[in-house]
């Protein structure tokens, strides 16, 4: 009987020890992107059939709607989703939240969509995984080979998981890492002559899902972005765009300098 009590005590102490380790492994990444002028980050880009490199840096202060932001620029035209999203835009950190303002090119080849955002939260140090950070809805109209199309969209972000350590694809390890997920949901309708109502060409779906990993006092260390869509069949009319599209892209930090 005493032996059973002894084993139970050991088991209880083991559980307490494991619980304590789990709690200590999750902490806020308060300085997800060090925002000092001159800081820079270089990323290796890989996607189907294409490899390249993006270099992004903080050029100067800029004032937007009365708030001071750090303006990001790139050495050349970027190919990565993350660098494209920051290029030419302003970023500020308030209470562990990163606010992005400016114009964003979503990078969808067949449905070009440039969005203007104001204080869009791309990261929140204190948010638990799955918490929505920001959601922006909108609608825009474009011409596509003589057809009027309407794009209804929702751009949103949510907090991701926290990691005591994270190893990127180039085998670099970082401590105290937290993820953030950016999603673009789209619905596309096309107006067809002599057709009484718009035809839903693209049912509402997540077209872009980008998971970004931030290491404390370093910046974004890895981004995994999936871009895809599947169109509905359009009877009697053929549009000059593929029926479906899919692309996976990885952006991995290769070098950086921060203060």
Q: Is residue 182 included in any domain, yes or no?
A: no
Report the percentage of the chain scoring pLDDT > 70.
88
The candidate with the shortest Cα–Cα distance to 88, out of 102, 107, 67, is 102
pLDDT at 193 over 60: yes
Looking at residue 192, its pLDDT comes to 78
Q: How far is CA 35 from CA 94, 218, 254, in A?
A: 11, 10, 19
The residue ranking higher by pLDDT, 20 or 177, is 177
**Average of pLDDT values for 132-150?**
89
Among the listed ranges 20-29, 50-59, 132-141, 197-206, which one has the minimum average pLDDT value? 20-29
pLDDT at 236 over 80: no
Q: Is residue 192 included in any domain, yes or no?
A: no
Do residues 74 and 67 lie in contact, with contact meaning Cβ atoms separated by under 8 Å?
no
Q: Is residue 217 included in any domain, yes or no?
A: yes
Average pLDDT for the chain: 87
pLDDT at 28 over 80: no
Looking at residue 27, its pLDDT comes to 53
Q: Is residue 199 included in any domain, yes or no?
A: no
Q: For residue range 196-231, what is the model confidence (pLDDT) as tens digits?
A: 788 899 999 999 999 999 999 999 999 999 999 999
Looking at residue 26, its pLDDT comes to 46
Looking at residue 9, its pLDDT comes to 35
By residue range, what is the domain housing residue 242? 28-133+157-177+211-257
Looking at residue 22, its pLDDT comes to 35
Q: How far is CA 219 from CA 159, 162, 192, 215, in A?
A: 16, 15, 47, 6
Rounded distance between C-alpha atoms, residue 2 and residue 180, angstroms: 50
pLDDT at 7 over 80: no
Counting the structural domains of the chain, the total is 1
Q: For residue range 115-140, what is the model confidence (pLDDT) as tens digits?
A: 999 999 999 999 999 999 999 999 99
Looking at residue 47, its pLDDT comes to 95
Q: What is the DSSP string of 157-198?
A: EEEEEEEEEEE-TTS-EEEEEEEEEEEEEEEEEEE-TT-SS-
Q: Is residue 126 included in any domain, yes or no?
A: yes
Q: Is residue 103 included in any domain, yes or no?
A: yes
Nearest-5° angle of CA 96, CA 251, CA 227? 95
The candidate with the shortest Cα–Cα distance to 257, out of 91, 70, 38, is 38
**Average of pLDDT values for 27-55?**
93
Do residues 231 and 196 lie in contact, with contact meaning Cβ atoms separated by under 8 Å?
no
Q: Is residue 4 included in any domain, yes or no?
A: no
The end-to-end CA distance of the chain, in Å, is 61
In this prediction the pTM is 0.86
Q: Is residue 147 included in any domain, yes or no?
A: no
Looking at residue 74, its pLDDT comes to 98
Looking at residue 2, its pLDDT comes to 41
């Amino acid at each position: 009987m005493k032996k059973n009590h002894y084993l139970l005590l050991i088991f209880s102490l083991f559980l307490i020890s494991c619980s304590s380790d789990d709690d200590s492994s999750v902490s806020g990444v308060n300085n997800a992107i060090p925002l000092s002028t001159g800081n820079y980050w270089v990323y290796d880009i890989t996607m189907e059939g294409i490899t390249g490199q993006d270099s992004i840096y903080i050029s100067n202060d800029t004032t937007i709607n009365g708030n001071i932001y750090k303006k990001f620029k790139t050495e050349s035209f970027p190919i990565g989703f993350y660098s494209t999203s920051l290029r030419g835009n302003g970023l500020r950190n308030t209470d562990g939240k990163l606010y992005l303002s400016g114009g964003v090119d979503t990078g969808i080849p067949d449905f070009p969509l440039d969005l203007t955002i104001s204080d869009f939260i791309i990261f929140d140090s204190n948010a638990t995984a799955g918490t929505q950070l920001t959601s922006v809805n909108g609608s825009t109209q474009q011409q596509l080979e003589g057809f009027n199309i309407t794009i209804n969209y929702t751009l949103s972000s949510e907090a991701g998981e926290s990691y005591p350590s994270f190893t990127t694809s180039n085998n670099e390890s970082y401590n105290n890492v937290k993820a953030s997920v950016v999603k673009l949901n789209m619905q596309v309708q096309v107006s067809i002559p002599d057709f009484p109502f718009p035809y839903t060409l693209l049912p509402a779906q997540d077209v872009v899902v980008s998971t970004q990993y931030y290491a404390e006092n370093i910046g974004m260390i890895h981004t995994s972005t999936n871009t895809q869509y599947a169109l509905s069949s359009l009877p009697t009319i053929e549009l000059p765009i593929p029926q479906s599209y899919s692309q996976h892209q990885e952006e991995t930090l290769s070098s950086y300098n921060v203060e």
